[in-house]
Amino acid sequence: MVYARKVSGRTLTFIVSGKLWRNSLVMQDRETGTLWSHVTGEALHGPLAGERLDMLSSVQTTWKQWVARHPDTRVLRKDARIRGSRYEAYARDPSQFGLFRSARAIRKLPGKSIVYGIVRAGEAVAIAAKALEDAGLVHLNVGDEAILVARGRDGGVRAFLRRAGGRELRFRREGADGRVRDEATGSTWDAETGRCLEGSLAGAALEEIAVRPAYWFAWVSFYPDSRVVERPPRPASN
Amino acid sequence: MRTRLVPAVPLAVLLLAPPPVAAAPSDPEVFAEVGGDPIYTVLAAGANPAILEPELVSGGEAAAQMLPEEPVLGAIVGGEARAYSLWQLDAHEIVNDTAGGVPIAVSW
């Protein structure tokens, strides 16, 4: 997750609190000692309780894909001896769900299913990874906003408000180059940046919003009423 | 061919539990209860070291430290691109950075 770490004009510095809430990391700011959920950005306990950090969009991809698209990127210096995830066994084990048993039911999907979570205006939706497998695109409405979720050629999943030129848009995958075309104007868009490359909407850009990859069991412990998109809707039959 | 990341990327996000604690402590200390769920104390604050002053390198310099298929968290903030190795974030969980003049916290 990426958050703007400024609250009411004050820049905060976060450390690892050593605490867990809903099986997830709790951050602590050094300035006030307040505890924050890294999943929701909410201050849970302490002087700033009730405040919320602004979540910024980010994406999971591979180093090769990222640097090819962003040759000017800056990278956190890393010890080259780190060559794997310490959570690999945990990630592979379908029966291990965090450290503590959750009181909430895990139905609808297997607990370790990967979902991409979006929350808008208090409404939560989890898009199952398999819903993005075929077309790589999912259209949905969350909290009254029309949203496009797209898997890029870099494997990353991003979400955009699918509105431009004063109208709501729907897209189709176009060829194998990662471009998409909107049905209303036939303009061509880059599904990784949200920019319109060609057509009457050329120059327009869809606003990217934050999407959170998560295990389903974790997502549902934060958002028990979350809707689930399990697979792309069937195309309308004639 | 379309790249599928899901098998390659552990996507541990959202459940980062402190490392090698194999099972829940038998008698975890409940620090407080929020929203009907306990906040458990598992480790001392700071036992997993968040990065407070990140050392950033260029993409060219990073080539020596990164594997091509290494999973990264990428973000563009204030027009500046940042990449963080998820394998590295496993150990630190939080990076306090500033990108394009915007102070950010990257959590994993």
Q: What pLDDT digit, counting tens, does each position of A167-208 carry?
A: 999 999 987 778 999 999 999 999 999 999 999 999 999 999
Residue B47 CA to residue B71 CA, distance in Å, equals: 24
Residue B22 forms contact with A (CB below 8 Å): no
Q: Which of residues 79-138 of A touch B (CB under 8 A)?
A: 79-80, 82-88, 90-91, 97-101, 103, 114, 129, 133, 136
Residue B100 forms contact with A (CB below 8 Å): no
Query: What's the whole-model pTM score?
Result: 0.88
H or E segment to which residue B104 belongs: strand B102-107
A-chain residues near B65 (CB < 8 A): 75, 77-80
B-chain residues near A60 (CB < 8 A): 5, 9, 11, 13, 71-74, 86
Report the sign of the C-alpha dihedral through residues B52, B53, B59, B60, in that order. Answer: negative
| Residue B79: how many other CB atoms lie within 10 Å | 9
Res A74: pLDDT? 98
pLDDT above 70 for B21:
no
Res B13: pLDDT? 41
The reply to whether residue B102 touches residue A215, judged by beta carbons under 8 angstroms, is no
- Secondary structure letter of residue A232 according to DSSP: P
Q: In this predicted complex, what is the ipTM?
A: 0.90
Res A82: pLDDT? 82
Res A238: pLDDT? 43
pLDDT above 70 for B83:
yes
Residue B56 forms contact with A (CB below 8 Å): yes
Please report how many Cα atoms fall inside a 13 Å half-sphere around the Cα of residue A83, on the Cβ side.
6
Residue A126 makes CB contacts below 8 A (sequence gap 6+) with A109, A115, A116, A117, A214, A216, A219, A220, A223, A226, A227, A228, A229
Residue B12 CA to residue A97 CA, distance in Å, equals: 11
The reply to whether residue B72 touches residue A103, judged by beta carbons under 8 angstroms, is no
pLDDT above 50 for A66:
yes
Buried-exposed string A9-40: b where 16+ CB fall within 10 A, e elsewhere? eeebbbbbbbbbbbbbbbbbbeebebbbbbbb
Residue A70 forms contact with B (CB below 8 Å): yes
Residue A61 makes CB contacts below 8 A (sequence gap 6+) with A152, A154, A155, A156, B5, B71, B72, B74
Query: Average of pLDDT values for A52-59?
Result: 97
Nearest C-alpha of chain A: how many angstroms from B78?
11
pLDDT above 80 for A148:
yes
Query: Average of pLDDT values for A11-23?
Result: 95
A78 closest CB neighbour out of B24, B52, B85:
B85
Res A164: pLDDT? 95
The reply to whether residue B10 touches residue A91, judged by beta carbons under 8 angstroms, is yes
